[in-house]
């Protein structure tokens, strides 16, 4: 992926939680929330996988540092990726993994990967070469995911399953997805081809204040769609934060938890990154000679 693509990821991550694609518009112009009514976390993600390993700070930092190492010297819109560029890429990678991991969706934003954050991080960590690392970036074609859930292509006709591999038959061609990369199974009834978290709508009269259902933070956005944050995916719990609002809480926060956390920095072959409100150090001679 080019430096420009990673730079644009900041905007994409910010926009992914917005309600720009949250509703169906009827011929009369009235917006209607998508999906079935969800009153709790189980109804919001009825086929949620039960054995997803938590992706911790160290694994996030190591995988993002490794991916950034493999971008050094690669062509970009402004020339070969420099060390400074690579540090920025590592920081943006962290943002993308945290955003997608907590929302229990495949890695999303501008980088629409087929895998969830933990699967991608494990793949990168196991990559013996940069070619192997870059091979972890399996694209997720024509399926969009964000805070409210995942949507399939509008011209979806049917899904054919071959084990965990789904082939979505559309008017413009077939789309293949390996559902296992997202801890999912092929599902002929799903418009995404896999058992992704679907869009669900809030009960009539539901309050817009977020709440905890176990360690899942549920909300109701302005368009009446259920928002979903599984704090367990990144090793957290759901509870009341210092501001008195319900949020995902992560232990060991430090100066990185403020409104203006420090950027990535190098010192003596060590890269320091802010991850989930805490500073994490990674040894990397390539990025920090």
What local confidence, expressed as pLDDT, does residue 279 receive? 96
How far is CA 46 from its chain centroid? 19
Q: Is 109 exposed, middle or buried (0-12, 13-18, 19+ CB in 10 A)?
A: buried
Query: Which pair of structure tokens corresponds to residue 268?
Result: 């003596």
Q: Is 8 exposed, middle or buried (0-12, 13-18, 19+ CB in 10 A)?
A: middle
Report domain extents, the chain: 3-283
pTM more than 0.95: no
For residue 281, the tally of other CB atoms under 10 A from its CB is: 14
d(CA 41, CA 182): 19
d(CA 140, CA 150): 11
Can you give the pLDDT of all 289 residues of the chain as single tens digits? 443 444 334 333 333 333 333 333 333 334 689 999 999 999 999 999 988 999 999 999 999 999 999 999 888 888 899 999 999 999 999 999 999 999 999 999 767 899 999 999 999 999 999 999 999 999 998 999 999 999 999 899 999 999 999 999 999 899 899 999 999 999 999 999 999 999 999 999 888 889 999 999 999 999 999 999 999 999 999 999 988 999 999 999 998 988 889 999 999 999 999 999 999 999 999 999 8
What local confidence, expressed as pLDDT, does residue 110 receive? 62
C-beta separation of 19 from 225 below 8 A: yes
| Listed residue (201, 181, 218) closest to 23, CA to CA | 201
C-beta separation of 193 from 181 below 8 A: no
What local confidence, expressed as pLDDT, does residue 19 receive? 31
Q: Is 207 exposed, middle or buried (0-12, 13-18, 19+ CB in 10 A)?
A: exposed
The DSSP output letter for 214 is T
C-beta separation of 247 from 227 below 8 A: no
Helix/strand number for the chain, H first, E second = 6, 15
Q: What is the largest CA-CA distance in the chain?
A: 63
Distances (CA, A) of 180 to 115, 120, 125, 165, 229: 8, 12, 18, 8, 21
């Amino acid at each position: 992926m080019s430096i420009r693509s990673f730079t644009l990821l900041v905007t994409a991550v910010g926009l992914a939680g917005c309600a720009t694609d949250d509703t169906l518009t009827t011929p009369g112009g009235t917006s209607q929330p998508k999906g079935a009514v969800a009153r709790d976390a189980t109804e919001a993600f009825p086929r949620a996988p039960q054995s997803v390993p938590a992706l911790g700070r160290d694994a996030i930092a190591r995988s993002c540092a490794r991916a950034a190492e493999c971008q050094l010297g690669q062509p970009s819109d402004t020339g070969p990726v420099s060390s400074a560029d690579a540090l920025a890429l590592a920081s943006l990678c962290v943002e993308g993994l945290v955003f997608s991991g907590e929302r229990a969706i495949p890695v999303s934003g501008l980088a629409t990967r087929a895998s969830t954050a933990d699967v991608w991080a494990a793949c990168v960590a196991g990559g013996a070469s940069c070619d192997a690392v870059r091979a972890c970036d399996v694209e997720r074609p024509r399926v969009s995911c964000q805070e409210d859930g995942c949507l399939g292509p509008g011209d979806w006709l049917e899904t054919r399953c071959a084990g965990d591999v789904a082939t979505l038959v559309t008017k413009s061609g077939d789309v293949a997805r390996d559902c296992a990369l997202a801890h999912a199974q092929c599902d002929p009834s799903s418009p995404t081809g896999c058992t992704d978290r679907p869009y669900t709508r809030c009960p009539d009269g539901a309050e817009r204040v977020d709440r905890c259902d176990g360690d899942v933070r549920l909300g109701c956005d302005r368009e009446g769609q259920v928002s979903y944050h599984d704090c367990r995916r990144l090793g957290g719990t759901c509870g009341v934060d210092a501001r008195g609002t319900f949020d995902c809480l992560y232990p060991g926060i430090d100066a990185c938890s403020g409104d203006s956390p420090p950027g990535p920095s190098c010192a003596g072959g060590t890269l320091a990154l802010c991850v989930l409100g805490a500073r994490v150090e990674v040894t990397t001679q390539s990025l920090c000679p």
